[in-house]
A and B are shown apart, each in its own frame.
Chain A
Amino acid sequence: MSKLLEVKDLRVSFNTYNGEVQAVRGVSFDLNEGETLAIVGESGSGKSVTSSTLMGLLPKPAGVIKSGQILFQGEDLVKKSEKEMQKIRGKEISMVFQDPLSSLNPTMKIGNQIIEGLIKHQGMNRAEAKKKAIELLDQVGIPHPEIRVNQYPHQFSGGMRQRVVIAIALACNPKILIADEPTTALDVTIQAQILELMKEIQRDTKTSIIFITHDLGVVANVADRVAVMYAGKIVEIGTVDDVFYNPKHPYTWGLLGSMPTLDAEDEELYTIPGTPPDMLNPPKGDAFAPRNEFALEIDAVMEPPMFKVSDTHYAATWLLHKNAPKIEMPESVRRRIEGFAKTGKKGGE
């Protein structure tokens, strides 16, 4: 598998009246061709900021890329001008947003919203583009596409609108599709349908997908690899099996342990104590240490580097240092993981 996208030590800050909010603090990851990488984390962990930075969609002038590289097919997107980015957005990299109800223009026929990109990036004329738009609607599972193409967003249900948004994103056969919590605003049955659709699309088009979510059940369902983000950093990254069956970072333990499952009888649901740190003044040392029952003294002083667990699996916790005390994951989390293994499912599918 070849690398399509390489993010190297990306740092993004927002300048606010109160000072500099360090939203992303040195994120590095690769995206291979045809794979789905899930980025998980709680609100404010920097996952959405990371994804909008990839697209050059940071709100200006508040959002600033402090350092780092985003190498897409060898070219650094950080250095591209707005004009150059306009040629990449929608064509090479496209995006599906969280809320389908507000991410379509209410006063424009959905057909016109789809063909815009086709006309701009593929040089099609209106008639060709419209034909392609109907095909796309059909591809994302919208019945009667030839009628629907002339309708307005308010004539579609939430799930159908998300399918339209996906059709728009897929219009120009992008190499990377960034999906920023695409199922969060939908109800559960529709969520499943949209996930199914995204998997299908990936099978058919071999598009690489970056899937931003806070729902571990979704991750298990769609992803090949997972990056867990906390306080603007990736704390653990690996294949789905690595992260779900052999988690190393205490934060990942917390996330897995706090997932409700159907077969957990009488067991109190694990919660991670405390709240995420204020990114205006990120704590010294490991940002997760104040909430971490397994924190070591060094955590308060120095940030842990990425330790290699296996060729595919890395985690940033001092527990992996050779001098660290042997600490096993909590019993409840271990039982939870055994539960996944038994049912052959990961997470609350």
Chain B
Amino acid sequence: MARYILRRLGYMIVTLFIIATLSFFLMKMLPGSPLNAEDKLSEEQKAIVLEKYGLNDPVPVQYVRYLTGLVQGDLGISFKFDNTPVTQILMDRIGPSALVGFQAMVIGTILGIALGLIAAVFHNGFLDYTSTIIAVLGTSIPSFVFAGLLQYVFAVELGWFPVALWGEPEHTILPTIALAITPLATAARFIRTEMVDVLGSNYMLTAKAKGISQAGRVWKHGFRNALIPLVTVIGPMAVNIMTGSMVIEQIFAIPGIGEQFVSSVLVNDYPTIMGTTLLYAFAFIVIILIVDLLYGLIDPRIRVTGGNK
């Protein structure tokens, strides 16, 4: 097991290196330069700035310099945000994104699982159709539409929450709900489909023949078996949501990563773009590793090699 994880960590470093390389060159191919917006600068001033940030060097030289910094944990200095180190920006920004994202994932997944289980148990009944309708609405309506609706109903009409403000725990409620819709709908759909399958399987009949009650069968025998496909989709979704939803963060004025990523792309803030991309990639790779390990925990048949032999 330890060997497996070690090997996976090795692959992770290779993957990160490839992603860093690709995104570096792709970013350099973007039209424009960081100075586009700064029209007031004279030619000499521009030259000084370009020289200072090493942007006059050939791209390969810049690439090697970036990688050297990266290995030492230095993501460079942002061009835009007052020369703050990119690591600093990311550290400041990840908090709000992760908080809202985490809340949304937990609430969405738990409610979604509950909804899916109810739908499966009452297969083809009223509750099943209700749950399916909720799931379809949740998947097909974009989260920013929900965000707008939530703002209108709970902030404008009822006045329970501020429309868009950051600082207090209650400010996270509306964005959390808006973001939770996606994992909720996904979890509900996956759990329902899987659970309907599981409920019809022979081992559930064996459990029934043992005298186990329906609730006991669904919970002790069914749930774990229905979980695998959900874990597969929910992992990457967690990364997406926790590293910041650009639209939701804009709508609710959350000082998160997504919001800052958009503005850094707009002004060609190379180090910040790179830093955010790498953070995203890193989180993704870590989650995929965790998902792979979770598979083994959930289903003993897919325990990783090198484990209990």
Which A residues form the contact surface with B (CB < 8 A)? Answer: 55, 57, 86-91, 94-95, 97, 99, 102-108, 113, 116-117, 120-121, 152, 154, 165, 168-169
12 contacts between A and B (CB under 8 A): A57-B208, A86-B212, A89-B209, A105-B203, A105-B206, A106-B225, A106-B300, A107-B299, A116-B207, A116-B210, A116-B212, A117-B212
Check B221 for interface membership: any CB of A closer than 8 A. Answer: yes
Structural contact, A91 and B211, CB atoms closer than 8 A: yes
Which of A86, A99, A103, A108 is close to B211, meaning CB atoms less than 8 Å apart? A86
In the bound complex, CA of A91 to CA of B207 (Å): 13
Structural contact, A55 and B225, CB atoms closer than 8 A: no
In the bound complex, CA of A116 to CA of B212 (Å): 8
In the bound complex, CA of A91 to CA of B209 (Å): 9
In the bound complex, CA of A87 to CA of B213 (Å): 10
Which of B201, B209, B299, B301 is close to A55, meaning CB atoms less than 8 Å apart? B209
Residue of A nearest to B212 (CB): A116
In the bound complex, CA of A116 to CA of B298 (Å): 19
Supplied contacts A57-B209, A116-B207, 12 more A-B pairs, CB within 8 Å: A86-B211, A86-B213, A89-B210, A91-B211, A102-B202, A104-B206, A105-B203, A106-B301, A116-B210, A117-B211, A120-B212, A165-B206
- Interface class of chain B by DSSP: helix
Contacts of A168 in B (CB 8 A): 206, 210
Which B residues form the contact surface with A (CB < 8 A)? Answer: 201-203, 205-213, 220-221, 224-225, 298-301
Contacts of B300 in A (CB 8 A): 106-107, 152, 154
In the bound complex, CA of A103 to CA of B203 (Å): 4
Contacts of A120 in B (CB 8 A): 210-212
In the bound complex, CA of A90 to CA of B213 (Å): 12
Tell me the smallest distance from the CB of A70 to a CB of chain B, in Å.
16
Contacts of B202 in A (CB 8 A): 97, 99, 102-103
Tell me the smallest distance from the CB of A174 to a CB of chain B, in Å.
10
Residue of A nearest to B214 (CB): A82
In the bound complex, CA of A86 to CA of B213 (Å): 7
Known: A89-B208, A90-B209. A102 touches B301 (CB 8 A): no
Contacts of A152 in B (CB 8 A): 300-301
Which of A94, A99, A107 is close to B210, meaning CB atoms less than 8 Å apart? A94
Structural contact, A89 and B203, CB atoms closer than 8 A: no
Residue of B nearest to A114 (CB): B210
Contacts of B207 in A (CB 8 A): 105, 116
Structural contact, A57 and B205, CB atoms closer than 8 A: yes
In the bound complex, CA of A87 to CA of B211 (Å): 6
Contacts of B212 in A (CB 8 A): 86, 90, 116-117, 120
Structural contact, B211 and A89, CB atoms closer than 8 A: yes
Contacts of A87 in B (CB 8 A): 211
Known: A102-B201, A103-B202, A103-B203. A108 touches B221 (CB 8 A): yes
Contacts of A91 in B (CB 8 A): 211
In the bound complex, CA of A95 to CA of B209 (Å): 6
In the bound complex, CA of A94 to CA of B206 (Å): 9
Structural contact, A103 and B210, CB atoms closer than 8 A: no
Structural contact, B221 and A97, CB atoms closer than 8 A: no
Contacts of A89 in B (CB 8 A): 208-211
Structural contact, A102 and B209, CB atoms closer than 8 A: no
Tell me the smallest distance from the CB of A128 to a CB of chain B, in Å.
17
Contacts of A165 in B (CB 8 A): 206
Structural contact, B209 and A105, CB atoms closer than 8 A: no
Structural contact, B301 and A103, CB atoms closer than 8 A: no
